[in-house]
Amino acid sequence: MDTHMAAADEHMAEAIGRPDLIRVDDRLICLRFETMKVVSALAAVRQLLASGTVRRGDTLLDSSSGIYAYALALACHRYGMRCHIIGSTTVDHTLRTQLAVLGAHLEQMPPSCDLKLDQKRRVARVREILRTHPEYHWMRQYHDDVHYLGYRAIAERIHAVAPADGSPLTLVGGVGSGASTGALARYLREVRAAGADARDGAGGTDGVGGAGGAGGTEGAGGAGPVRLTGVQPFGSVTFGSEHVADPEIIIAGIGSSIPFGNVTHTAYDTVHWLSFRTALTGSVELLRRHAVFAGLSTGASYAAARWEHAREPGGTTVFIAPDTGHRYVDTVFARHREAADLDDLAPRTVSSLDDLAMPWSRMEWNGAPAPAQARARASVGTDAGAGAAREPA
């Protein structure tokens, strides 16, 4: 191999999955991806191949409303796999064309205004295909924690740029399937705990707290504690807001109408629930103030991150931007004149899920377990668990 080219990516998927770290304010950082789920899909397929669960040439199957379909198609292209996607009615012409050229087989559901029904149809079709083709591998992005693996390197990169002065590190992101925020928090807590243990062994400051749950590690000097803030739309069962309806839209990618196995509720310290219009304001303001063109869930995370960062002015806050804003040009950015001034918006702080209210609520979750509705079907397993999900993109 030409040594001058050794650092070049071997496949486009690797380049797409590498995020940028953009400082938008003092110690407020945007973790900006072109397509975040590529990180997850690449590592998942790589692990499945390494373990012998699948072989090159096998068919990988899953349901998706868009972003995961593209990510899995890229991973299959990279590793010589076949890709079969049961797509939502929301999959657009651009994505259909990309999937076709990449060699993925897309079956798209008929038009429906009921996204819950759309997902039920997709999962029913997945099961039908598996009965006919039991050799296909169902990726189960919502339930198989193999999708955590790709985020370890991202966590190490965040850790490397975070100040080692004992101050807290707050991670803010849309919950969705649970893989991105859950994995990043887990790995950040592990790597920062390892650093604290190393200091202890050298006579340094004692660390407090574990790597796996809310609060993370803690110490004066070196790596500080890791706090995880989850962002949710109203109407999502994941953190108990299913009784509050957003009249406009549930924000794609961060909510669900049924439990997901990859969501570890006890890892979260704080949860924000935001309306579509609040997220729209966040997206427009992020572009207007900082030239970051990102999706609607990023706008929600940006608003929540600004609020959390103001509460910890000496800490570092990192918010996740999982995709670009291209899908939202008409539905969000063309409506930029409707955006409020983000400085004029603030969440309503609540202590009970019964008190959640539009347009923005915030609650100290403090590592609590899943609410009843979010764990009611957890024991049923992945097949039933996926049955009525409102899909993270």
The angle that helices 152-161 and 179-201 make with each other, rounded to 10 degrees, is: 50
Q: Is the pLDDT of residue 259 over 70?
A: yes
Taking residues 127-146, report their average pLDDT. 95
Taking residues 92-106, report their average pLDDT. 95
Q: For 168-196, what is each residue's pLDDT tens digit?
A: 999 999 998 899 999 999 999 999 988 66
Strands (E), the chain: 20-25, 28-32, 59-64, 82-87, 105-108, 137-138, 169-174, 226-233, 270-274, 316-321, 348-350, 360-364
8 vs 382: CA distance, rounded Å: 38
Q: Is the pLDDT of residue 120 over 80?
A: no
User: Token digits for 265?
Assistant: 């509720």
Does residue 221 come out as left (phi exceeding 0), alpha (psi in the -120 to 50 range) or beta? Answer: left
Query: CB of 342 within 8 A of CB of 281?
Result: yes
Q: For 332-379, what is each residue's pLDDT tens digit?
A: 999 999 999 999 999 999 999 999 999 999 999 999 999 998 884 443
Q: What angle do CA 385, 389, 393 make, to 5 degrees?
A: 125
129 vs 63: CA distance, rounded Å: 12
Q: What is the pLDDT of residue 15?
A: 94
User: Token digits for 126?
Assistant: 């997945």
pTM value?
0.88
**Is residue 110 very low, low, confident or very high in pLDDT (cuts 50, 70, 90)?**
confident
Q: For 15-66, what is each residue's pLDDT tens digit?
A: 999 999 999 999 999 999 999 999 999 999 999 999 999 999 999 999 987 8
